[in-house]
Amino acid sequence: MVSQIPWVSPIDYSKLEIENNFLRDKYREYKKIYNNKIIDFVHPETLNNLDQTALDFYEGRSDAYDKYLHLTFQTYGEDEEKVRNKMIDLLEIQKESKVLEVACGTGRDSILIEKKLGPQGQLCLTDISQDMISKAYNKLQDSEKNIFFATANAIHLPFPDNYFDSLFSFGGLGEFSDPSLFFKEAVRVCKKGAKIVVGDENLPIWQRDTLFGKILSNYNKQFLAEVPFEALPKEAREVKCEWIIGGVFYLINFKVGEGEPYANFDFEIPGVRGGTHKTRFYGNLEGVSEETKLAAIKAREKLGISMHNWLDELIKREAQKILDEE
């Protein structure tokens, strides 16, 4: 077995202290709930309206939710375990991986993730609802793997930077009050190169005017939610999106990169204009008259160099003359 999770404050990510057998930061104490098996990290203590609405909807529904969830797959003629394993395979889990599942619900994916881990791996499960995650705990309590449970807000995660090898969240993203902040948190707690797999309901726009689409959206308006492409982080690399489970649930997977993507914008562009992509972006000056432009084109042709090289040297030389006169 491996060591415990190095939990941090979900408020400022500071290291937590132990006091009276409870974890705490300078703001508050984080108590254990559900027979002291789950740590309550939900922040803020007074949730915003969207997060509170989601919590109120799921709290107290774990039994019915778990009992009837298979109907979602049955409706579209899908094999639930096969579909879930296909999603989890995208995480590229190794025996020693550290895996985080956000909004784990009643643990239907969690039990499949657990099977892929060895004795040195870790699985951390979070959900904003105590009722839902308690159901997941009951399913996994006899596991000999390293599994840790916490109630937590998906946009305020109690984990250190660069900790996880994989992150999974299916069926909850549409309920998060700030998807952009969730992805920011996901990238923060994951290592560079980690796999992130997320998904939720979405009726593709090319199906919305069909009878299939109209019936579907009539009984569940959440299928009209958009895929949150605009919320994806700048660190997302090798992004792929597909529609699964009857083609009405999107599934996005990507690798965590570092900062913005790289490109060489400094090479000299062949041709009469010359310059680089960077000089063309940063180097725009005030326009000139048509007469001056035509004269410049003829002068460049006579010199046999690119417009960029000629103008760059000419302006720099003339500007320096003026500066030297000071």
pLDDT of residue 92: 98
User: What is the average per-residue pLDDT within 223-244?
Assistant: 98
One-letter amino acid for residue 312 of the chain = D
pLDDT of residue 286: 79
pLDDT grade, residue 326 (50/70/90)? low
pLDDT digits (tens, 9 = 90+) for 20-43: 888 999 999 999 999 899 999 999
Q: Which residues pair with 244 in a beta bridge?
A: 249
Check whether residue 158 and residue 206 sit in a common domain: yes
Asked if residue 3 is part of any domain, the answer here is no
- What range does the domain containing 183 cover? 17-256
Report how many domains make up the chain.
2
pLDDT grade, residue 181 (50/70/90)? very high
Check whether residue 230 and residue 145 sit in a common domain: yes
pLDDT of residue 211: 97
Token pair listed for 33: 């709930």
Check whether residue 247 and residue 317 sit in a common domain: no
Check whether residue 312 and residue 174 sit in a common domain: no
CB-CB contact of 8 with 14 (8 Å):
yes
Which one of 222, 256, 290 terminates a domain?
256
Check whether residue 158 and residue 104 sit in a common domain: yes
Q: Lowest-confidence range among 6-15, 188-197, 222-231, 289-298? A: 289-298
pLDDT digits (tens, 9 = 90+) for 119-146: 999 999 999 999 999 999 999 999 999 9
pLDDT at 194 over 90: yes
pLDDT of residue 310: 87
pLDDT of residue 265: 94
d(CA 154, CA 230): 18
Check whether residue 121 and residue 173 sit in a common domain: yes
d(CA 201, CA 223): 5
Asked if residue 89 is part of any domain, the answer here is yes
Asked if residue 42 is part of any domain, the answer here is yes
pLDDT of residue 311: 87
Q: Which residues pair with 19 in a beta bridge?
A: 22
pLDDT of residue 4: 86
Check whether residue 176 and residue 287 sit in a common domain: no
Q: Lowest-confidence range among 104-108, 166-170, 182-186, 278-282? A: 278-282
CATH number of the CATH domain containing 118: 3.40.50.150
Check whether residue 200 and residue 51 sit in a common domain: yes
pLDDT digits (tens, 9 = 90+) for 274-321: 999 998 888 887 788 889 889 988 988 998 989 888 888 888 998 899
pLDDT of residue 169: 98
pLDDT at 2 over 60: no
pLDDT digits (tens, 9 = 90+) for 247-271: 999 999 999 999 999 999 999 999 9
pLDDT, mean over the chain:
95
Angle, helices 307-325 vs 290-303, to 10°: value is 110
Rg (CA), the chain: 27
Q: How many CA atoms lie within 13 A of 189 on its CB side?
A: 30
Q: What are phi and psi of 223, to 5 degrees?
A: -70, -15
pLDDT of residue 312: 87
What HEC string does the chain produce? CCCCCCCECCCCCCECEEECCEEECCCCEECEECCCCEEECCCCCCCCHHHHHHHHHHCCCHHHHHHHCHHHHHHCCCCHHHHHHHHHHCCCCCCCCEEEEECCCCCCCHHHHHHHCCCCCEEEEEECCHHHHHHHHHHHCCCCCCEEEEECECCECCCCCCCEEEEEEECCHHHCCCHHHHHHHHHHHEEEEEEEEEEEECCCHHHCCCHHHHHHHHHCHHHHCCCCHHHCCCCEEEEEEEEECCCCEEEEEEEECCCCCCCCCCCCCCCCCCCCHHHHHHCCCCCCCHHHHHHHHHHHHHHCCCHHHHHHHHHHHHHHHHHHHC
Percent of the chain topping pLDDT 70: 99
Check whether residue 81 and residue 142 sit in a common domain: yes
CB-CB contact of 267 with 234 (8 Å):
no
d(CA 275, CA 195): 38
d(CA 128, CA 52): 9
CB-CB contact of 196 with 232 (8 Å):
no
